[in-house]
Structure 1
Amino acid sequence: METDKIFPDGIYGCQKIGDGMSIEFTETQKNRLTELGVKKETVFRMFETVIEREQTYKIVEKQAVVKNKADLKYLLEQSRKPALCRLQQELADALCEKGFTQVTTPIIISSRALEKMTIDKNNPLHEQVFWLDPKTCLRPMLAPNLYEVSRKILTSQKLPLRIFEIGSCFRKESEGNSHLKEFTMLNLVEWGTPKENRIDQLKQFADLVLKAAQIDDYSLQEEDSVVYGVGLDVVSRDGLELASTAMGPHPLDDKWRITCSWVGIGFGLERLLMHREKQSGIQRYSKSNVFLDGVCLKIK
């Protein structure tokens, strides 16, 4: 069987063979091809015979291994920096050029800080927190620290104030195609945004970040957050949530003695990469011992 007759577009194409197809790749084969980064339309294609399926699998798996090896070699010899690291730097540079200041805050936070965000034992998010002991945990979000740092800065600085942080957050998520237990967040906030300008500012800041991330297929949709209430979500054309936004004054502000109006956005960077690189799973661009810069390390 000739390769081009099976795969006219390489491992990322999919050729419809005809009516009456009922044979798929086995689950083991699907898992291996997905692990190697083969596109969904190929992984879930149908076959007329088992022989055809097995012949196709051998060819596709071999092509995918070759590609992963080539990508790993390029990383080691050329780019030398994973896409997640490059994206963090590109976003930081783009935000600093627009007057934002980057801050870094602790990964370990107190239960009291979460309670200020309404995440107490009665909140469903409480069960998703990685608790180190009854009073401390790994931060599930950047917001508590950004509130605290901002409150202190605002005692001596004038409005408007633009700050952002990029860092790891941790939640006991069921690791599906678009969730991770450890993920990298970008949170930006502008304190002192005039109330009448908040929506326009959110749109401008979302555009700034997504342009730096080389993503242009998105829209803003109204959404009701468990913590922040009604706001806007940044959603890709295929329905993937890329970011959530918030606006103030907000009831949470009083606990940090914040009194000005403001806007903020939170982006998950691994999810941005998954969407940009058209991957079906987020793990390929996560902090991982199995994947590195989208490359599967389990290659022959």
Structure 2
Amino acid sequence: MSITWTPIQKQRLQELNASEVLQEMCFESHQERDRAYQEQEHLLVIRGKQKLQELLETNRRPSLSVLEQQLVEALTQEGFVQVVTPTIISKTALAKMSVSDDHPLFSQVFWLDSKRCLRPMLAPNLYTLWRDLLRLWEKPIRIFEIGTCYRKESKGSLHLNEFTMLNLTELGLPLDQRHQRLKELADLVMNTVGIDDYQLESESSVVYGDTLDVVKGIELGSSAMGPHVLDDQWGIFDPWVGIGFGLERLLMIKEGSQNVQSMGRSLTYLNGVRLNI
């Protein structure tokens, strides 16, 4: 007979960021399982306390903040300009992204009232900036934002209601360079984060249509390019590329975590460590 962890034991191990191998262990008896659980929980608690002590004595900044700084430095050195835009956007702006009442993403939006919501993506604001910057700057226009987005996601180890997005864009480049440029931008971000052996896969998005996703076990980033059907809504006619990443997912893969909840903004976790240890 193959005996696995109890649901409560498995949940606790996941909260403590136990490896997938450890979470899937099997035993020949209940006694063996419970003894192993006590040992493994003890080791994971010690590891968590050590990580919190490192935060206190050495790092003094959570990994999410450190990663954001590393990305800002890498992108600005490559000629991208960082922008900071509002978290609250209009229903009209969202509709211009095709997210109207009958769109699958519409039900995931946090609405403040009938006309305003918390942004579920960075793209509407970047489109707006493009339109004005085309009058003011020479092409190509390279801008990026790192900011919080909000969606009513299903609870699980891969989703957050409040998450940090990186969206980098380049407007006004030759049509025949778009695919190569997307690969270069994906390489730039992944090399900065310190993740290798990832794949680029073609997928279909409910907003952008066919996209090129960055994958390592899970989706880490998704890209798009124009001319695109959405461009007319914003008065954009030049070729462009854009690629977005969820920073918490990047950290999850980089640090070998099994739970994206531990990587984000939280009162339950600090720098990846469950605080009830």
Give the TM-score normalised by structure 2: 0.98
Q: Which residue of 1 aligns with 2:261?
A: 283
Say yes or no: does 1:178 pair with 2:178.
no
Secondary structure of the corresponding residue to residue 186 of structure 1: strand
Secondary structure of the corresponding residue to residue 112 of structure 2: strand
Q: Give every structure 1 segment of 4 or more consecutive aligned residues whose post-TM-superposition deviation is greater than 3 Å.
A: none
Say yes or no: does 1:265 pair with 2:229.
no
Secondary structure of the corresponding residue to residue 30 of structure 1: helix
Secondary structure of the corresponding residue to residue 131 of structure 2: helix
Match of 1:193 among 173, 177, 187: 173
Q: 1 CA distance for matches of 2:55 and 2:157? A: 24
Higher-Rg structure is: 1
Q: Which residue of 2 aligns with 1:294?
A: 272
Secondary structure of the corresponding residue to residue 169 of structure 1: strand
Secondary structure of the corresponding residue to residue 197 of structure 1: helix
Q: Which residue of 1 aligns with 2:12?
A: 32
Q: Which residue of 1 aligns with 2:45?
A: 65
Letter paired with 1:91: L
Letter paired with 1:152: D
Q: How far did 1:149 drift?
A: 1.2
Q: Which residue of 2 aligns with 1:241?
A: 219
Q: 2 CA distance for matches of 1:211 and 1:23? A: 41
Aligned positions, number = 277
Letter paired with 2:187: D
Q: 2 CA distance for matches of 1:37 and 1:125? A: 30
Q: How far did 1:71 drift?
A: 0.7
Q: 2 CA distance for matches of 1:66 and 1:234? A: 34
Q: How far did 1:231 drift?
A: 2.1
CA contact (8 A) 2:15 2:259 kept: no
Query: What do the CA deviations read for 1:18-75 (whole angstroms, capped 9, x no partner)?
Result: xxx4111211111111111111211221111111112111111111111111110110
Match of 2:105 among 125, 137, 144: 125
Query: What do the CA deviations read for 1:104-149 (whole angstroms, capped 9, x no partner)?
Result: 0000000000010010001111101000000000000000000101
Stretches of structure 2 that go unaligned for 5 or more consecutive residues are: none
Q: 1 CA distance for matches of 2:256 and 2:160? A: 17
Q: 2 CA distance for matches of 1:157 and 1:74? A: 45
Q: 2 CA distance for matches of 1:170 and 1:148? A: 19
RMSD (Å), alpha carbons = 0.9
Q: 2 CA distance for matches of 1:226 and 1:57? A: 43
Say yes or no: does 1:84 pair with 2:77.
no
Letter paired with 2:31: I
Q: Which has the higher contact order (CA 8 A, sep 6+)?
A: 2
Match of 2:116 among 125, 132, 136: 136
Q: How far did 1:155 drift?
A: 1.2
Secondary structure of the corresponding residue to residue 136 of structure 2: coil
Secondary structure of the corresponding residue to residue 130 of structure 1: coil
CA contact (8 A) 2:150 2:163 kept: yes
- Equivalent residues in 2 for 1:78-117, closer than 5 Å: 78-117=58-97
Give the TM-score normalised by structure 1: 0.90
- Equivalent residues in 2 for 1:163-174, closer than 5 Å: 163-174=143-154
Say yes or no: does 1:152 pair with 2:112.
no
Q: How far did 1:183 drift?
A: 0.5
Q: How far did 1:217 drift?
A: 1.6
Letter paired with 2:274: C
Secondary structure of the corresponding residue to residue 165 of structure 1: strand
